[in-house]
Amino acid sequence: MFREWRQLATGGALGKLTGLVREVLFASFLGTSTWADAYRTALATTVSVSHLFTSEALTTAFVPQFGRYLAQQPPKAWTLLKAMLILLVPGAIIVATALFLSARWIIDTLYPGFDAEQVGQSVEMLRIMAVGIVPYVLSAMWISVAMGRGSFVLAAARPAVQNLGVIAAIIIAWWLGNPRLIACGFTGTYLLFMLVTWWYLRSRGLFDEGWLSHFLHVRSVLRRFCKSLGPLLPFAAAIQLMVLVEKAVATLVGSGAVAAVDYARFITELASLLVVVPLGLVSLASMAHLTAEEARHRSDAMCAVAALLLVPTSAFLLVAAEDLVRVIYEHGAFQEDAVVVTTRALRGMALSLWCTGLAYILLRVFNAQLRNREVLLIGLLGVVVNVTANIVLYRPLGVASMGVAFTLYGLVTLFAFAHCIGGLPKTRTITMTCLSLAVVYVGLGWLIDRQLEWYPVARLLVHVAFGLAYWIGLLAAIPITRDVLREIVRRVRS
């Protein structure tokens, strides 16, 4: 399991490195302008619709079942793949066409805070991105086949490939002075990636010879797939609704808020891509055959490691938010007003990092164990809490309300998953220890921040040095956290 985690984590690191270049170029070109908001909302709309086809249906329902069939009854695996293609591709074409033709109505309805200029900009970008939905779905399909065959290379490469395509589009758009061309980065990248993923599967022999001829036991295969997928579709729809509500509320906060939230989320997603997402994806492949008790013990061990990494990271982001924003983004069109609103958004998002990360890992464990009805109920509860908090809190808290609402979502779903799995004693102890230390760390970090009137880079380096000394020193001194640290070091060395 650690080999696959390392492969995905490496891909995540490359994705974040290219993502950093993407975000810096984007911020320098557009800052928190109306075009920046238009791009973010168009992308969120396109991806949310695409995820209804790909995220839950493929990653959490298709991959475990496809892997089981390959091990036990290979013809059924290829029957499932062909059935998925027959269902998904026409559906994606219909949705992409509807999105293209109804773009203005969709933007007007979903984003009430936009004025006429922002609506027009968003509509242009949404229509360009709608063309990329079909290749997006097909590339996700081929990635899922590779994962079912035990290859995580395509899944690891996807973030970096997408970022490189957008980087090229930003450079061209900047050179030509035409921001709408950035939307072509999404569509063009997935047209190319769809072909590359197909070539990879063929060249590596990941398709069985004669796989197209297998179409046996279609009813029983689809019946089992739909049984596992059934609760996931409402869950996927609810999650995408939560994303769109956040964007809609951000448009009501004010111009630039949508872009500011995404700039902040990019920073917090670093830990997710390096720790949370790899552990979650590997859980799907490694826990499908375990008993409930075995899965609970392994989940406790994984979440304890994740908590030891995520809680200190959350605390560091809370303390060093302004310096991080200035060092990463304060260039070109990204001026002081953008720094202020993005810093507020980042502090809100930092609160949510640890709990949403742990909840995500447990969600994937439940998916692997096919406990999808519980996933649905817990997810719906979390979405209701998040949407309610966003609507209630955006006036008093402004852009920080999105982070607070996401924190509430993470806490509710984390506690519910932990309760349903039978308790995670090691994770609970590690988390409470780290949260106690985090309170002290944030207070000390705030005092240091008040005393230093240095340049942002120098102040950020002080925060990094203090954070490393504080967390490594204290966690190494406490027996239970010291044992987890040793395990992390041992795994990395091996």
For residue 149, name the pLDDT band (cuts at 50, 70, 90).
confident
Residue 221: pLDDT over 80: no
In single-letter form, the type of residue at position 176 comes to L
Contact 288, 369 (CB under 8 A): yes
Residue 436: pLDDT over 80: yes
Chain centroid to CA 302:
18
Q: How far apart are CA 177 and CA 186, in angstroms?
A: 18
Scan for tokens 């197909």, then name that residue: 198
Lookup: tokens for 458: 């120098």
For residue 71, name the pLDDT band (cuts at 50, 70, 90).
confident
Predicted confidence at residue 134, as pLDDT, reads 93
Lookup: tokens for 432: 């409470």
Q: How far apart are CA 35 and CA 50, in angstroms?
A: 22
| Distant-in-sequence, close-in-space partners of 227: CB < 8 Å, separation ≥ 6 | none
Contact 302, 279 (CB under 8 A): yes
Helix (H, G, I), strand (E, B) or coil at 330: coil
The values of phi and psi at residue 221, to 5°, are: -65, -50
| Distant-in-sequence, close-in-space partners of 453: CB < 8 Å, separation ≥ 6 | none
Least confident of 156-165, 241-250, 445-454: 445-454
Q: How far apart are CA 494 and CA 487, in angstroms?
A: 11
